[in-house]
Amino acid sequence: MTKALFVVSECAPLVKTGGLADVAGALPLALAAHDVQVRVLLPGYRNVMKQIGKTKPVATFDDLFGGAAKLLACTVAGLDLLILDAPHLYDRDGSIYGDATGADWPDNAERFAALCKTAAAIAVDGVDGWTPDIVHGHDWQAGLTPEYMIDAGAKAPFVFTIHNIAFHGNVGADKLGALGLDPARFTSDHFEFWGQISALKAGLAGATKINTVSQTYAEELLTPEFGIGMDGILRARQSDVSGIVNGIDLAAWDPATDPNIKPYQTPAGKTANKKALRKTFGLGASNGPLCVLVSRLTEQKGIDLLLDALPALLARGGQLALLGSGDPRLEVALLEAADRHENLSVKIGYDEALSHQMMAGGDVILVPSRFEPCGLTQLYGLRYGTLPLVALTGGLADTVINASPAALARRVATGIQFFPITAQALENAFVRLTDLFSDKKTWKAMQSNAMKQPVGWETSAVRYKDIYDSVLGTGQ
Ligand code: ADP
Ligand code: GLC
């Protein structure tokens, strides 16, 4: 039995802003089947504290970055959780990363340093008679963990997973004292990054092994375009960097049993869901493909490209139902476009049940991202027979088989990819899409291929186990 401590800032079903939460909620369960026991260390945000029910106090801290804190053990949805209850850091209105206006909390560095410091304490002293063999951090919020592990004298290896390198968690060097970091290691081979403290860099420098969430993104990260300043350190550590594609929770995303939809097992079952979805979004009948998009609305996701290319889809009878929230400028631009086009309907907000209905009722899931470490919605789409139309990048390149003449001839295509990632190429992809959609026989064959593609965690969980074995020296 291998014992691993996940250090992570979100975890489904308790708290989620994006795919990181899905991974933190599903991978531990998949690893359990491979003799790995995972405990997930998670901040006790106000909304998390409301949901966890019965807990067991397992440690106390008199002063954790400005206040007293407790560590609470509990089990939720089959996950073994360690909740860091530190009200001065986490008991707030607003979102988990910022206030109601969308601005980051000014003390985010301390808020997540507290999580990392607690992880280091657990690595040394254990909790509840349980000491991890491995500490596994995710994204910059867990990045300072190896620094505190050095200070605490922890011996366990640290594995670091990059879900999105765009977020560095940088703060000014004046926070060295407040964060309790050793000034002697404020150097470029530890956590110094262009004169600042970088939590992400600390994680990359201190990790025994680094991985990211798809093979293509692992290669992209080594280039200046995608590495966003971290490509140098990643190239220096190239032999320790790997890509492991994410899976999805096959129980939560199963068209045959999904309680949010009219369940189905073959593409024909989508018709009733499509009708219901059109009604929900106030869209009329049309012979073109009904596209859906579910996303955070940020620069990364290529929403501006979509707005430019959309007329090409609508002119060919296509429709788009979009659900998302984020950048207020993108929200306004989408709502304005929806006023102009009767076949575009936009809902601003976050709605888990509706996202399932969209996967069931759509013909096509759009993911026009400028970069995408893995992406999960195209995987949901595959399972629901909702064919992905995606940018050729990161995990979108690795999980979708483009409907090229060769793939169509071999009957293996599952979607459409476009490149370069421009509005013009997306427009061209919409033309290909509407042509393909009108060829009903080919479309149905692609749907059947898509629904058969394995998109669960099985293969990838084994690869994480292999990393654990290699850092512990227990592999064969
Ligand atoms: P990222 O992590 O970059 O946001 P992913 O595709 O990996 O992208 O994961 C996004 C997750 O968040 C998916 O589970 C998606 O369904 C969900 N999601 C994003 N926006 C919304 C929304 N507005 N309503 C419901 N679910 C959403
Ligand atoms: C990040 C990435 C996304 C990935 C998710 C889970 O948020 O943007 O591509 O699927 O993490 O790893």
Kindly state if the Cβ of 375 falls inside 6 Å of ligand 2. Answer: yes
Averaged over 325-346, what is the pLDDT?
97
Whether the model clears a pTM of 0.95, i.e. scores above it, the answer is: yes
pLDDT grade for 416, boundaries at 50, 70 and 90:
very high
Question: How does pLDDT run across 194-241, given as a tens digit for each residue?
Answer: 999 999 999 999 999 999 999 999 999 999 999 999 999 999 999 999
282/102 Cα distance (integer angstroms) = 30
**Ligand 1 atom, smallest distance to 374 CA:** 7
Res. 98 pLDDT band, cuts 50 70 90: very high
**Residue 381's pLDDT is what?**
98
Position 204 scores a pLDDT of: 98
Q: What is the mean pLDDT of the chain?
A: 97
Query: CA 207 → CA 35, 161, 237, 240, 287, distances in Å?
Result: 23, 9, 10, 9, 53
* Mean pLDDT, residues 152-162 taken together: 98
Work out the percent of the chain whose per-residue pLDDT is above 90: 98
In a 13 Å sphere around the CA of 283, the CA atoms on its Cβ side amount to 32
Residue from 212, 377, 393, 460 to probe ligand 1 pocket by mutation (most atoms less than 8 Å from CB) = 377
pLDDT, residue 429, reads: 98
* Residue that is written with structure tokens 């997540």 in the block: 112
pLDDT at 475 over 70: no
pLDDT at 476 over 60: no
pLDDT at 399: 98
**Which one of the ligands is nearest to 296 CA?**
1
pLDDT band at residue 100, thresholds of 50, 70 and 90? confident
pLDDT 10s digits, 346-381 = 999 999 999 999 999 999 999 999 999 999 999 999
Residue in 8, 160, 213, 228 to alter for ligand 2 test, most ligand atoms within 8 A of Cβ: 213
pLDDT at position 68: 98
Query: Which residues have a Cβ under 8 Å from the Cβ of 27 and sit 6 or more positions away?
Result: 6, 38, 247, 457, 460, 461, 464
Please name which of 219, 223, 188 lies closest in space to residue 204, comparing C-alpha atoms: 188
The confidence score (pLDDT) of residue 9 equals: 98
Cα 201 to middle of ligand 1, angstroms: 26
Mean pLDDT for 158-185 is 97
Question: Which token pair is 33?
Answer: 């089947």
Residues with CB under 6 A from ligand 1: 18-20, 22, 294-296, 323-325, 350-352, 355, 374-377
Distance 27 CA to ligand 2 centre (A): 14
246 close to ligand 2 (CB < 6 Angstrom): yes
Residue 102: which pLDDT band, with cuts at 50, 70 and 90? confident
Binding site membership of 243 for ligand 2 (Cβ less than 6 Å): no
Task: Give Cα separations from 463 to 11, 132, 393, 453 (angstroms).
Answer: 21, 19, 22, 19
Q: How far is 354 from 380, CA to CA, in rounded Å? A: 13
Tokens of 368: 């026009």
Substitution candidate for ligand 1 out of 374, 376, 383, 400 with most atoms within 8 A of CB: 376
Least confident window among 91-95, 139-143, 153-157: 91-95
**pLDDT at res. 474:** 82
3 state DSSP class of 318: coil
Closest ligand 2 atom to 213 CA: 12
